[in-house]
Amino acid sequence: MIEREIERKIEDFRDLGIPDYIPRESRIQLVGNMVSTIIGARRAGKSFRAIQAADELIEQKVLRSINQICLLDFDNPILSNMNATDLKLIQDTFLKLNPDFELTTPLLFILDEIHKISNWEEYVIDLSRNPNWKVIVTGSSSKLLKDDIATELRGKAISSTIYPLSFSEFLKFKGFGYKPGSTKGQAETRRFFDEFLTWGAYPALTGVEEYTKESLLREYFDTMILKDIIQRHNVSKPRQCIHLYNYLLSNIGKSHTLMSAFRYLKQAGFNTSRDAVREQVHWAEDSWLLSNVSIYSNSLKEQERNYKKIYAIDWALANKNSLIWDGAYSRAFENMVFIHLYQKWHRIHYYLTKKKRQEVDFIAVDAHRRPVMAVQACMDIDQEDTLNRELEPMISTAKYFGIKENLIITYNQEKDFHRDGILVKAIPAWKWLLND
């Protein structure tokens, strides 16, 4: 029965062909003799990115046709009941259907949701040992989260992370071609940017009616909490865990400490400990729900001594699932800027000036741990007090570190500021997101 189901799935894929997809900008790392895992937050588009990778290999003539692709989705009542010894049926059946293929024939195996099979890791490692075969594993399971990838595949895998849509991808999903020289095109881009800021970057939300979007965001949050945290870690106090994450989502862009979260839970009547809170925050980071940003410092003690700033994988997910939201988008705006920077740099910190302890929202750090870009996120800099509050710490920081690229990301204001020999550029977020 299992072999027949594998045959059916392979033949169905060939008959239907590669499904339509909107290309994503992220790269997938394919390295010989290693398993390629596509990881990231739930509902970010990992499965479709694997299909895009297959199409790209055909375009590059690494594969001659779709016939050299074995795509299996284990979210299937028959395949999900396989055991580890059954898995060898995959390549055996595929090669039987293709008698002309040999062990030297380039092949691609895409195994979606294979985590449903116990001890699947040894199988995909063995499959990847053939230098002519490429193996991509993807899925939404907690088994494909950061910690488990590091432990289960033991250095035999290379991971590519998929995030929700960038703004340029969002425009593609909306079917809009940006025309930078057109007044009408810029007006339409700003209109789409408002939607992006309001409803976030999850691919599915680009194609549903507005009345459905909030329900989807709540469903995504519930699923992440239940499957990637509560079930994965066998959480004995789920209400406390959910309450903590609701609280943290209410504080995106704000300073926080483990002690402040611990005190909040105690005041809410939960019997917990600081170690438990620390562990639950780590789980949220591991599942891509939240990111903690520390101060820029070469001293780990200073990083631990200072507060963290917290951001969500998606700003609309945070707004729609927070305990308190005033309807303003300033902190969602900052969260959006962070996600864009994080995808580009991966080493992002905030900074406090030495004398006045004024904050710079983001410092991007290069491979040598040198600060190379300072960024403030401020929707409106019309008021002189607001502008000075953003400029003063940025100029001080730029002078101290010798940073040449200093930006204030605004809602729709654009201007250059020259002070004390430092150039600071204010640029609208929609333009920065498209041109960065």
| 327 bridge partner residues | none
144-163 pLDDT per residue, tens: 666 666 567 778 888 899 99
| pLDDT at res. 327 | 76
* φ, ψ for residue 130, nearest 5 deg: -75, 115
Residue scoring higher pLDDT (179 or 25): 25
Determine whether domain 208-327 maps to CATH 2.60.40: no
| pLDDT at res. 266 | 95
Q: Which residues have CB under 8 Å from 229's CB, separation 6+?
A: 142, 235, 241, 280, 283, 284, 287, 289
Q: Could you tell me the pTM of the whole model? A: 0.92
Residue 287: what residue type? S
| pLDDT at res. 149 | 64
If you count DSSP H runs as helices and E runs as strands, how many of each does the chain have, helices first? 16, 14
Q: Fold for domain 2-162?
A: Rossmann fold (3.40.50)
- Residues of 118-145 as b/e, b for ≥16 C-beta within 10 angstroms? eebbebbbebbebeebbbbbbbbbbbbb
Statement: residue 88 has pLDDT above 70: yes
Kindly report the number of other CB atoms within 10 A of residue 151's CB atom: 8
Using CA atoms, how far apart are residues 379 and 133, in angstroms rounded to an integer? 49
Mean of the pLDDT values across residues 209-213?
94
Report DSSP letters for 177-212, one per residue. ---TT-HHHHHHHHHHHHHHHHH-S-GGGGGS-HHH
Question: What percentage of the chain exceeds 90 in pLDDT?
Answer: 78
